[in-house]
Chain A
Amino acid sequence: MIAELGHYALMLALGLSLIQSVMPIVGTRNNDAVLMSMAVPTALAQFFFVGLAFLALTTCYVTSDFSVLNVYENSNSAMPLLYRFTSVWGNHEGSMMLWVFILTLFGALVAALGTNLPIKLKANALAVQAWIATAFELFILITSNPFVRIANAPFQGRDLNPVLQDPGLAFHPPLLYLGYVGFSIVFSFAIAALLEGRIDAAWARFTRPWVLGAWMCLTLGIAGGSYWAYYELGWGGFWFWDPVENASLMPWLAGTALLHSAVVMEKRGALKVWTILLAIIAFSLSLIGTFLVRSGVLTSVHAFANDPRRGIFILAILVCFIGGALALYAWRAPLLKQGGLFAPISREGALVFNNLFLTSACATVFVGTLYPLALEALTGAKISVGPPFFNLTFGPLFLPLLIAMPFGPLLGWKRGDLLAAAQRLLAAAILAALAIAASFALQRGGPVLAPFGVGVAIFIMAGALVDLAERTMFLRIPPAAMVRRAIGLPRSAWGAAFAHFGIGVTLLGIVAVTAWGSERIAALKPGENIDIAHFRLTFDGTFARPGPNYSDLVGHFTVHRTGGELLGAMEPSRRTFPARNMATTEAALMSRRLNQIYLSLGDPNPDGSVPVRLYFKPQVLMIWLGAVIMFIGGALSLSDRRLRVGAPRRARAAMLQAAE
C-alpha cells in the first residue's frame, strides 16, 4: 500500500510540475499577477508530494518490504539500519528519486525564501525549475519506477552491492546531488533572465548563495567520494581520472569559474553575458555527469544497471535542455547590456584570467572524458584515455592558475598594480623558496618537480595569509585595532582566503603522496615481517569474525616504529557477503598525524600465505583536509551579510515588533 501511495504521490507531483511549467510563464507574458503567483504554491506542493514519494520508498526500505522489486534487488533485512536507509539511493531508481527530491526541495526553497525577488524573475525561474522537474519525474515514471511490485514476495532481499555498504554512502551521493542540483537553480535564474531579456547586479546577488552552496556541497561531495574510493577499493589511490570522477569534476570547475565571475558581475556589473553562459554550462555539465553515470555508457562503480531506454531518455533530456538553453542564449544574450570597463591588470582582469584557465582546464577534461565515447560511436574503435593524458593537459593549464591565485585578491578593482601586489607577496615567495630548498635537501631520489610543487602549495597558502594580513594591517597597527579590523572584514574576504588556503593544503597533500609515497606488495606467512618507510609490521595470523550480513577474514598485524616503540595493531580484512557471493577488501588505515599507513589483503594463497598491499602515504590527509577548509571558506562567504538580501529588512521588522 505504501509503495502505491508513493507511486501516486509522484504522479501528482508530475501534474503539479506541469502546471508550474506553464502557468507562470503565461502570466509573465500577459502581465497577469495571479498566474505568476501560481508558481509559489505549486512549487511547495510539488515538493510535498515528491517528499511523500521519497518517504514512501524510504519506508519500504527501512521495513524491508521485499514485495517491492527495487527493495528486493538492493536490500537485505540483515543489514544494519543505516545501510537499509542509505540503500534507498544505492541503486539507479532510488538515486534518481533523490535527485528529484533535492530538485524540488530547492524549488520550494526559492518559492518560500525568495520573498524579495522581482515577481517576474521568480515566476520565470520557478517555471524553468519545473521544466527540469517534469523531465526527471517523467524519466522516473517511464523508465525507472522504484515502486514496481513482485507478485509473490520473496523472504529475503538480494542485498546492497557490498562496495556500497559503507557509511560513505550516507554522505557522498546526497552531497554530490546537492551540488549538481544546486546549479539547476542558477540555471533556472539564467534562463529566466534570458526570457525577460534583463539582468543586473541584483541577479548576481540572488544567485550567488546558490552558486556558493552548490559549490560547497560539490567540493565536499567530490572529496568524500575520493576518500571513500581511497579506502574502499583497496588500491590506495585518491583520484583515478575515471570518467565518473571527471563527471563530477567538470561541474566543479565550471562552478568555481561561475563563483568568481559572479563576483565581477555583482561588484562591477561586467561579464554579465559570460556569467549567464557559465551558469548554463555548469548545470549542463551536471546533466552530462548524470548522463554519463546513469546511462550505463561507462564502466564504473557507479554503473548500477544497463538499460538502453534510460540512456536514450537521458540523452533526450540532455539535448533538450542544453541545446535549448544555448539556442535561447544565442538568441537573447545580445539584448543584455554590457557594463563596467576595466584594465587588463585589475581584480576583474585577474578573475577573467581565472575563468579563462578554469574553463580551458574543464574543456580538456571534457574532451578526454567524452572522446572515447564519441570515437566508439563514430568508428567503433574502443580506446581508453588514462591519467597520463590528464596529467599532460590539465596539469599545465592549472599551474598558471595556481601561481596567479595569490595575486588576484591583492589587485584593486578597475586598475590594479601588479608590482605592488608582487611586493606584498614577497614574504610568501621567500617562504616558498625556503620550502623548495628544504624539500630538495630532505628528499632522497624523489622526482625533481616535487619540491617545486611544494613551493607552489606553500606560496598559495602563504599568499592567502598575506591577503588577510594586508587587510587587517597586521603588525602595523596596535593589536586591538587589528582585531577590530579583522572582525570588520567582510566575511566573503575571510571566505576567499580560507578557500585559497584550502587549495594550497590539498595541493601539498597531492604532491607529497605522489612524490614520496611508497608501496610494498608481498605474500606473508604468520610471524613474518614487512617494512615500509620507518615502520615494521608483523603479521600475527588471520581469524574469522562474523558480521550482521557478512563474515570477515581478518588479518592481525602489529605495527612498530623500526627498531622501537609499539604503535598499535592494524586489522585489514576480506569481507564475504553470502547474499551476493561477493567479497570486498576492507583496508586498514593507521593515521600518524597527517600521514597514513594503508594495508589491504588479497585472497589467501593455497600455501597459507596472504598477499598484502602496504602503502605509506605521507601527508595524505591534507588532500581532504584542504577540501574541508575550502568548504569552511564557502560557508564563511555564505554567511556574509551582503548575500542575505532580506536580512536588514527582517532585522528592522523585528525591532519594530519589540518596540510595540
Chain B
Amino acid sequence: MTAQQLFASSLFPGSHPAEPKLKWMVVLSCLAHLVAFAVIMGLPPSSSRNLYYSPTYSVDLVGLPPGGAPLAGGGKASGKPAAAEVKKQHVKLWKGPSEITSQVKVQAGRKHPVLEIPAKEKKIAPQQPEPEPGESAAQGSAEERPGAAGTQQSQQGTAADTGEQNTGEAATGGGVPGPGPGGGGGGAPNLRFAGYYRSLYEKIYQSWILPDYVTEKEGSREVIVVIKIQRDGRILEANFEKASGNRQLDASVMNALKKADPLPPLPDDFRESFLEIGIRFIPQQKAP
C-alpha cells in the first residue's frame, strides 16, 4: 500500500474505487489552504502585536504596523527601506579623519564631525580630505550640533523618524504603548523566553554608558535598535529603527551593543536560526 493509499483509506475507508476523485479533492484542498495561508500572511497586521519587555517584566501590547517583521526562517524584514540598513560591523558613527588632514596654526576651526548613517556597508574610509578648516565651516555646523537638536524635543517621536523604518514610527510613536487591537493569545508564548530577555537586558545595560552631557540635552528621547542575534549569541546586524539624531546618544547605543556582543546564546527551545529583537534605549536624566 502506498502512502497515498494509506492517506486516502484513512479518510475514506472502503472507498478505493473513488481514488481519482479523491486525488482531485486533495489537490483542491491543498490549493485552498495555500490561498488561505497567503491571504493570512498578507493581512493587515491588526491581528498581531509588539511586546515590550521591561526589566520589571511588564508587557504592553501594541498593534504591529503594515509589513510586519517576520522573526526568523531566513525571512527578511519586509517594508524596511534599504536606506535604513546599517550593518553592525560597519556602523560608521563618526565622520572623522583617521589620519590628520587639517593643519592648525595654533588656532583654527574645523568642521564638526557629523553622524553619518551610511546607506550600505562602508569600510572605514581611507580618508577623504576634509573641507578647509575655517571660521565659516565651524559656524555652518552649528545647527548640526545636538544643542540645536535638543530644542526640537517637542517634535519628538514621528519627526525624528524621518527616513527610518515605518515600524518604529507606528509601533512606538509618542512612546505610549497601549493595548493592541488584536485579541490575546498570539504574543503570550514568547514570554517563555523572559529569562533570556532578562539576560540580554543585563548584558546590554551594563555596557551602556551615557554621560550627563547627553541626558542634559536629550531628556528622555529614546533610540530603538533592532538586532538580529544568531544561535551562538553573536549580533548579526544592528539597525536603527528610530535614531535620535543626537550623534552622542546614537553612538552610545551602538557602542553598548558592540561591547555586549556576543550576547548569551539563544535558548535551546528557541527553534529558529536567529532572533530579531528590538532594544529600546531610554535616557534618564539625573535628578536636579
A pairs with B: no
